Every structure is written in structure tokens, then in C-alpha cells.
A and B are shown apart, each in its own frame.
Chain A
Amino acid sequence: MASAEEVAEQAERREIRGRWLLSAPALIIILLAATGPLLIVVIYSFLTPGPYGDVVWKFSTDGWLSVVMQRDIFDDTLAFADAHLSIFWRSAKLSFLTTIFTLLFGFPTAYFIATRPARQRDIWLFLITIPFWTNLLIRTFAIQEVIRNEGIVNTVLIKLGIISQPIQMMFTDFALMVGMTYVYLPLMVLPLYASMEKIDFRLVEAGYDLYANRFQVLRRVIIPLVKPGIVAGSILVFIPALGAYVTPRVLGGTKNMMLGNLIELQFGQGRNWPLGSALSISLMAIVMVALLFYVRSAGRQGGTHG
């Protein structure tokens, strides 16, 4: 005879097994078509490029080496791969600037929505949600139509006689920044709004009672209160911006590549899959560091505010 304790333990074990079985299909699909292939990328980064793309199964660290270095084709000396480094630098710079600009525009917008009467709030929120779920490609295309040489901005300016030649905006870093700020703005507004919705305005009132002016209240009361939203929004914008592929492909030219396009190049014309794999893992590593930073900062917030 099993004791009551054993029976309970058995039942619990059966339940846990049931729960594993129930989640197995989801886990297997993700293992098969997301996590597993990522591990293969790691392996590929240590192989030798094949002549027509793909790889030859021979160990090599050249893929990783060429992320930062390039071998001179004449005398075999190593030098820094300026082209790659400048693309890394451009990606980091543009993603950072995009984060700053979405924050500068998104913060007041989220605050505006959060301080509307409850009924109106849903409408404003809905207006942010629509672009959020609208195809990124269509939004990129929409902004392209605005800034291209024959686009609305240039056409209007020429008709008004302000300029005689269209201003070249397409295929510049400026276009990339405008485009990314445009497409990622909703990603900043939504988390900011979520934390602003919870602001206890008695604290703001207390600030005014202590003779703070509007700016001081904003800086010393509101911003510290919504800091988790600021961090979350920045992460949500920075990470996809760093790996952006569609926006730079449509708005940038071949001279304005970002990391995503450099990676694609290695799998297309570049025919250097190991280098492409090494670049992908580098990108992933940067993203992981950013996420770790976020988790730690979110943990700290949780600790101090209970």
C-alpha cells in the first residue's frame, strides 16, 4: 500500500508530466524553426566559405577574423576592415539617434494621451495602435513617398518657389533616421503610456506645493516615476533599429548599409556565409547585452519601488 504522501507525490509528478506534454508542441516548433537554427549559425561561423555560397566543412576562424579585419589581397597583411567597422558604427549611431528622437517625440505624446479624460484616451491610444500593427513595409513606403525627390515635400517646396531643385533626402543617413523614427515611434509611445497611466498625480501636486515649477516637476517627479517605461521603450526601439533590414534597404542606398544589409550581402553576392554568420552572432551578442542591461535595470526598479 502506498502512503498518502506517495500518492500525492505521484499525482504531482503526473501533473508536471502532463504540463510538459501540453507545452511540447510549442517548444518543439520553436526549437525546430528558431532556437535550433541559431546554434547552427554558430557552427557555420567557424567553417570555410564555399565557392558558390554555402560552406565547405573545414574549420576556419576567417569568418570571425573578417568581422573586424581584412586581409590585403596583394601582400596578405591584416588591416582593420574599415567598411565593416563603419557599418557597425553607422548602425549603432543611427539606432541611438532613433531612440533619442522617438523618446523626444514619444514622451510628450504618451503624456498627452495619459492625461486625457478616460473616454478620450482610448481613441488616442487606438490612433497609436493602428500604425503599430500596420505593415512596416507599407509605412516605410509611405515615408519614402513623402521624402523622395518627386515626393510631396519636394513637390510642394518647388511649387511654392522655395527651392528650384529637389533636396536629395533619399539614400542618405538622414532618410534612414527619419524613416526609423517614423516606423518605431509607436514602439516608444506604448510602453511610455503604460507607465504614465499609473502616475499618482498627488505626487505632482505635492511638487507644486513645494514651489517647484513645471519643468522641475517634470524633471524631478514625472520622469523618475516613468523611468521603467523610458527604459522599456528605448530597448524596444533600439533593438529592432540595430537589426533593421527593410527600412535601410528601401530608404538607404548601397552606401548607407546597416548591419542587417551587410549580413544579407554575405548570403547573397558576397557568398561568404561564415562571415555572415559571424556578423549575425555579433549582432545578437550586442542585443543580448542591451537586454541584460534592461533586465538588470528593471530588477533594480522593482527592488526600490517595492
Chain B
Amino acid sequence: MASRFDIRRQTGFATIAMICFFALYLPIITLVVYAFNAGSSIAIWEGVSLRWFYQAWNNNQVVDASIRSLQISSVAAIVSTIVATMAALATTRTKPYPGLGFKYAFINQPLMVPEIVTAVALLIFFSRIKIWTGYSGLGYLMVAHTAFCIPFAYLPIRARLENMDLSLEIAAADLYATPWKAFRRVTFPLLWPGILAGLMLAFVISLDDVVITEFVKSGGQDTLPTYMLGQFRRVITPEINAISTVFLLISILIVTVFFFISRKKDQE
């Protein structure tokens, strides 16, 4: 009987949901399929080929932009995760103290301002500094990425910490462990999944960034996303599809690992 009158059922909802999933994936799948097109159109199919992957691989601009992306995102992810871990340790498992609310608001501030506004602000600020110091390397992009990655790294680490009670650390301290030793031997191993989740989140967020990078970069500092944005104005060949496909694959891989880490955390 349950099947005849399921109280949870709402007429048409399952159909709309299926339409949504279909609509979400159809463009992505199309994009991936045409990356393998032998012809140079992104709409007319002319057989399977890997030529666009080869072409992208041999395109120096693409390779350079990819390396630059990886450099910036690695630095941003690692630095933001380290400082976010410290900040999370400082803002959890404590009774409220003056400035705690301020810290929360401050750490989450990059999430609350539209990206384009932050981008413009950094363009203004860094252009001044470029004039003063004469330095125009990748450092600006690394600092900018680190800043907006901090809240993303902070969230999973803080969530993990809030579920850990202090008793083990207190026990370690009772056994004459120094604070550093207690952190390294007790807190860190327990916190590790949260830190890893934060690191991956920060990496993906940094790797995906278009707007802030587009405004902060100096000439010849294209990352993979800004390079692609520049290409859209030209005649588009499946080379862009091939690059997107590889990019997509990396993102999916990271997200999958992240998803399973956070699932595991819930089950514990």
C-alpha cells in the first residue's frame, strides 16, 4: 500500500528533478564528447580523434598557463590551509572571548563581498605597490589567492575541530607533553581529515578562479582559466574542449576525494 500513497511524494517533482539532472549534465557531456572530435567544429561530428589533446599539449601558451595555475594554486592552498588551521585552533573550543566574533566576521569577509569588487580593490592596491616596488611577479596572484582561499580552508577544519573535545589534549599535557608535542602527536592526527579537506577545497577554489586573477595579473601571467576566457573571443576549436575536459577531470577527481573524506567524517 505504501507505494500507492507515499506521503513524501509530490506530483511532478521527480520529473522536474530528472530534467534538472539531465540539463546539468547534457552541456558538460557534450563539451567532453566534442573534445574527441576529429573535425574542427564544436557542433558537427567528424569522427573520433585525440588530435585536439595533442594540439593543446603542444601549445606552449596552454602549457605555460597550466604550470602557472598549478604554482599559484599550490602556494595559495598550502599557505591558506596552514594559516586557516592556526586560526581554527584559535577560534574553536574556547569560551567566548573579546574579539572572537570579530575574527569570525573577518575570516569570512572574502565570502561576503562580490568577487568583482575584491578584484577591483586588488587591482587598485597592487597597481600602486607595483609602482612603488617595481616587483611584478606572480607574488601578487599568490597573495590574492591565499586571501580568498582562507575562508574555504577554514570551514572544514573548524567543523572538524568543533567535534573534537579537549580531553585528549589535556591528557597529553598532564603527561608533560609540550603544547607543540601535544599538537603534533594528538591534535594533528585527529584533525588531519579536516585539514586535508580544507587543502583540497582551497586548491580547487584557487584553480577555478577567473575574476580576481583577470584583474590582478600582469601581462603574460595568464592562468589556465584566464587563458581560456581570452580564447572565447576568437574562433573556438575543440582544443578548448580538450583543455576543459582535462581541467574537468582534475576537478572531479579532487571533489570525489573530498566528498568521500567528508562523508567518512559524518559517519564517525
Contact = CB atoms under 8 A, between A and B. Distances in A.
B28 A139 contact: yes
B124 A19 contact: no
A112 interface: yes
Given A41-B117, A264-B116, A138 B244 contact: yes
Interface string B89-105: 11100100111000100
Interface string B1-28: 0000001111111101101110111111
Interface in A172-209: 182, 185-186, 189, 201, 204-205, 208
A92 interface: no
Interface in A268-301: 273, 276-277, 280-281, 283-284, 287-288, 291
B31 A141 contact: yes
A249 B229 contact: yes
Given A41-B124, A246-B229, A19 B91 contact: yes
A41 B24 contact: no
Interface string A102-145: 00011011011101000000101011111101111111011111
Contacts of A259: 116
B146 interface: yes
A63 interface: no
Given A30-B106, A32-B143, A113 B17 contact: yes
Interface stretch (A1-9, A70-78, A236-244): A236-244
Interface residues of B, number: 90
A4 B20 CA distance: 65
Contact of A151 (B21, B43, B119): B43
B-side interface mostly: helix
B30 A146 contact: yes
Contacts of B166: none
B215 A112 contact: no
Interface stretch (B51-59, B168-176, B248-256): B248-256
Contacts of B63: none
Contacts of B34: 145
A246 B19 CA distance: 25
Interface string A210-239: 000010001000100000000000000001
20 contacts: A19-B94, A19-B97, A22-B87, A23-B86, A23-B103, A29-B150, A33-B122, A35-B106, A111-B13, A135-B208, A136-B210, A141-B228, A146-B27, A155-B44, A182-B23, A186-B24, A201-B7, A240-B115, A277-B120, A284-B117
Interface of A: 15-16, 18-20, 22-23, 25-27, 29-38, 40-41, 44, 54, 105-106, 108-109, 111-113, 115, 122, 124, 126-131, 133-139, 141-146, 148, 150-152, 155, 182, 185-186, 189, 201, 204-205, 208, 214, 218, 222, 239-240, 242-243, 245-246, 249-250, 259-260, 263-264, 267, 273, 276-277, 280-281, 283-284, 287-288, 291
Interface of B: 7-14, 16-17, 19-21, 23-28, 30-31, 34, 41-44, 79-80, 82-84, 86-87, 89-91, 94, 97-99, 103, 106-107, 109-110, 112-125, 127, 143-144, 146-148, 150, 154, 204, 207-208, 210-211, 215, 225, 228-229, 232, 240-241, 244, 247-248, 251-252, 254-256, 258-259, 263
